[in-house]
Amino acid sequence: MNKGRESTPHIGIFGRRNNGKSSLINALAGQEIAIVSEQAGTTTDPVKKSFEISGFGPVILIDTAGIDDIGELGSKRVERSLKVLEIIDLGILLLNNNLWDEYEEMIINSFRNTDTPYIIVQTKSDIEAPSAGFIEKVKNITGKELISFSAVTKDNYEKLIKLIKYTIPEHALKAPTLLGDLLKQGDMVLLITPIDAEAPEGRLILPQVQTIRDIIDNDAIAIVLKEREIDTFLKRSAVKPALAVTDSQIFVKADASVPQDIPLTSFSIVLARLKGDFGSYLRGTPKISDLKDGDRVLLLESCTHHVSCDDIGRIKIPRWLSAFTGKKLHFDVVAGLDASKRPVTDYSLVIQCGGCMITRKQLHNRLRPAIEAGIPVTNYGMTIAWVQGIYRRAIAPFTGPDLGWEEYL
C-alpha cells in the first residue's frame, strides 16, 4: 500500500480481531462505510476509507486486519497491516475487555520503531468500560492516556476528535512546499530541464512538474528551458533569476552557464530537503571522499522504471563515483520499496534518489536502518554535486546562516 501523492492525513486503525475497528471508522465517518460483523477476522487486508471527520476535516482512515490473526495466512495479513505504518501519519490502537498482552506490546513497539504518533482507545465502552487499574496500567506502559469510546452511544466522541487533532503531526495537515519559503511573489526561477533518454515521451519528469507547480502556487514565475539555451536566454533577456534549478546530471554545464551571483541547486536536492533526512545527507555526503577499495555502495531508487543505457542510478553515478575516488567499488541497486538482499552493514555508503514517488515517511523509514547503524547516507543530487566539485554552491540555497543547518556542515 502506497500513500503516493495524496496529501490528506492518513490514520491507521489497529487492534485485535473483533475489537471494533470497523465500527470506529463508521462512527467517525457518520455513515456505514466499513463492514461490521460479530465474526472475528472480517477485515482481511488494509483498506483505505476516504471521508471527512466532522469537526476535523478530510482524512483517509486505513482499516487493518486483526493483529492477533492466526495461521500462515493470518501472519501474512498481520505483516501487510504493519506495512501500513510506513505511510500513516497517526496510529490508533483499539483495546477491548481490559486486555493487554503481547499483541498490544508488538504494535506499540512498531509505532515507536517507525516514529508513528499514536493514541489508545478502549472501544465498546457501553459493554465494558476500562477499569481504573487498567487505565493506570496502560499509562505506565505507554505514557498515554487511555480514552474509552462507544460506537453505539458515541460517548467521548468529541474528546476523541480533539485527541486526534492534537496528536496528528502538523506537517500532515499542511501542504509541503519545495521552494515557497525561499521565494517572494514575482520572483523568477530558472528551471533547466534537459530532454534526454530518461525523459518520458511528450512529458517532463515528475520532480520538474512538481517544482513548476510549487513555483506557481507561491506566486512566482517559472522559466523552463533546456541546458543549451541558458546562455542565450540570460544574454538576450537580461533577466536575473532569484534561483536556478537544474537536473543534477548537467551540474557542470549549469554551473558554468549560470552566473555565480545566482543561487543554483538541483531538482534532486530540492526533494532531498523536502522529503529526505537532510541533516544526515549533509553529514554523509563528504564521506564519499573516504571510500576505499572494495567498499560496497547501495543505491536506492524509489520507483521502478525502464533502465536505459545511460541510467542515472545504475550507470552514471557508479561511473562518476569510481572516477572521483579512483577506487574499485561494488554497487547494488534496489528499486521501489524492496529490501536489500544484503544486510545494510555490508555497505559503506547509501545513496537515495530524490523520492518523488514515495512519501517523506516512507523515505525516512527506508533510510533508518543505515542511519541507526552509523552508515553514511546521501542523495543522488548531492552525490553528483560532490564528485563534480560544486557541492557547496548546490546546497547553499538551503544552508545559509539563517536556515538552521550550520551544525551539519
Q: Can you tell me whether residue 61 is helix, strand or coil?
A: strand
Read off the pLDDT band of 32 (50, 70, 90).
low
Which range marks the domain in which residue 303 is found? 277-392
Q: How confident is the model at residue 409 (pLDDT cuts 50, 70, 90)?
A: low
Domain count, the chain: 3
- Over the stretch 40-87, which tens digit does the pLDDT of each residue have? 444 445 778 777 776 667 888 888 888 888 788 888 888 888 888 888
Domain boundary among 236, 253, 270: 270
In this structure, is residue 399 part of a structural domain? no
The confidence score (pLDDT) of residue 39 equals 46
Top pLDDT among 69 and 241 is at 241
Q: Encode pLDDT of 190-205 as tens digits.
A: 999 988 656 667 778 8
SS3 (DSSP) at 307: coil
Answer yes or no: do 258 and 379 share one domain.
no
- How far is 104 from 110, CA to CA, in rounded Å? 10
- Report pLDDT for 36: 44
pLDDT for 40 equals 45
Please give the Cα distance from 152 to 124 (Å, whole number).
8
| Rounded distance between C-alpha atoms, residue 401 and residue 358, angstroms | 30
Query: In CATH, what number is assigned to the domain containing residue 119?
Result: 3.40.50.300
What sign for the dihedral angle of Cα 164, 167, 172, 176? Answer: positive
Answer yes or no: is 405 within a domain. no
Q: CB neighbours of 132 closer than 8 A, spacing ≥ 6?
A: none
Collapsed DSSP state (helix, strand, coil) of residue 333: strand
Full strand arrangement of the beta sheet holding 47-53: 47-53, 57-63, 10-15, 90-95, 118-122, 146-148
Q: Give the CATH number of the domain where residue 186 resides.
A: 3.40.50.11420
